[in-house]
Amino acid sequence: MRRKIGVAPQALAIYEELTAEENLRFFGSLNGLEGRALGERVKWALDFVGLTPRARDRAMTYSGGMKRRLNLAVAVVHDPPLLLLDEPTVGVDPQSRNAIFENILALKREGRTVLYTTHYMEEAERLCDRVGIMDHGKLLALDTVPRLIDAHGGTTALVLERDGSETRVETSDPIAELSRLMRDGGLPRFRLEQPDLEGVFLNLTGRSLRD
């Protein structure tokens, strides 16, 4: 069962004294890989996260983003169908973050199940088919992103700008509201604020600070 699970903990669970290749070989062998199969999977994992050019450098010489990518590579080296990724983009540069997103989407396209933990709602919106909102260890909601927004995101807001001041109008039918404004004497500058996953999260968990 454990061989079917790949884990990328939030802490960088790699041996910094070892090279990327040695890290991958070690964890691959612990998960039952050996010989040629091990070599091929190590090579694949290095290519997958873009660390092949630095494969034989010790991890301690890597940037934070490279270490994060190696952390992910270790999780997938033994080709598990289930991946548990705990905030895999914490503290990385935008390029590495984007690369990790691409990696995860590629894994998803291959048909793997990815259980992704994050505090960044835009990551969940971008990567996840289904999102669970948890608070204090309780699962508060679980559904696709559009359904969660529909159910818990609240109404759309129409923000109108007149004489340098903004007026916020919450409405469930923004088109109808804009038509009414035109009939009444002209359409001011406006923007539309649609509910998103962050709104869902805050609506479900409240706005008080967490310990």
Number of residues that bind another protein (CB under 8 A): 24
In whole angstroms, give the CA distance from residue 74 to residue 91: 18
Residue selected from 20, 21, 24, 27 as contacting another protein according to rule CB under 8 A: 27
Distances (CA, A) of 30 to 2, 25, 73, 154: 11, 9, 15, 48
The nearer residue to another protein, 59 or 148, going by C-beta atoms, is: 59
Token pair 């559904």 is found at 143
- Sole window of 15-23, 89-97, 174-182, 195-203 interacting with another protein (rule: CB under 8 A): 15-23
Cα–Cα separations (whole angstroms), residue 155 to 18, 42, 151: 52, 49, 10
If one asks whether residue 57 binds another protein (CB under 8 A), the answer comes out as no
Q: Which of 47, 50, 57, 58 touches another protein by CB under 8 A?
A: 58
- Pick between residue 20 and residue 121 the one whose CB is nearest to another protein: 20
- Choose, by CB under 8 A, the member of 11, 82, 151, 159 that binds another protein: 11
Question: What minimum distance in Å lies between the beta carbon of 15 and another protein?
Answer: 6
Which residue is listed with tokens 């903004």? 166
* 3-state helix vs strand vs coil in the chain, percent to 5: 45, 20, 30
Indicate the helix (H) or strand (E) that contains 89. none
d(CA 56, CA 143): 43
Which residue number, 15 or 44, has a Cβ lying nearer to another protein? 15
The contact pattern for another protein, residues 163-202, with x = CB under 8 A and - = no contact, is ----------------------------------------
Min CB(9)–another protein separation in Å: 5
Decide the pairing of beta strands 189-193 and 156-162: antiparallel
According to the binding rule CB under 8 A, does residue 12 interact with another protein?
Answer: yes
Q: How far is residue 90's CA from residue 68's CA, in Å, rounded to a whole number?
A: 8
Q: Pick the closer one to another protein by CB: 9 or 132.
A: 9
Give the integer Cα–Cα distance in Å for 148 and 141.
Answer: 8
Within 66-85, the residues that bind another protein by CB under 8 A are 74
Under rule CB under 8 A, residue 114 binds another protein = no
Residue 18 found at the interface with another protein (CB under 8 A): yes
Could you give the CA distance from residue 98 to residue 55 in angstroms, rounded to a whole number? 20
- What are the residues binding another protein (CB under 8 A)? 1-3, 5, 7, 9-15, 17-18, 22, 26-27, 29-32, 34, 58, 74
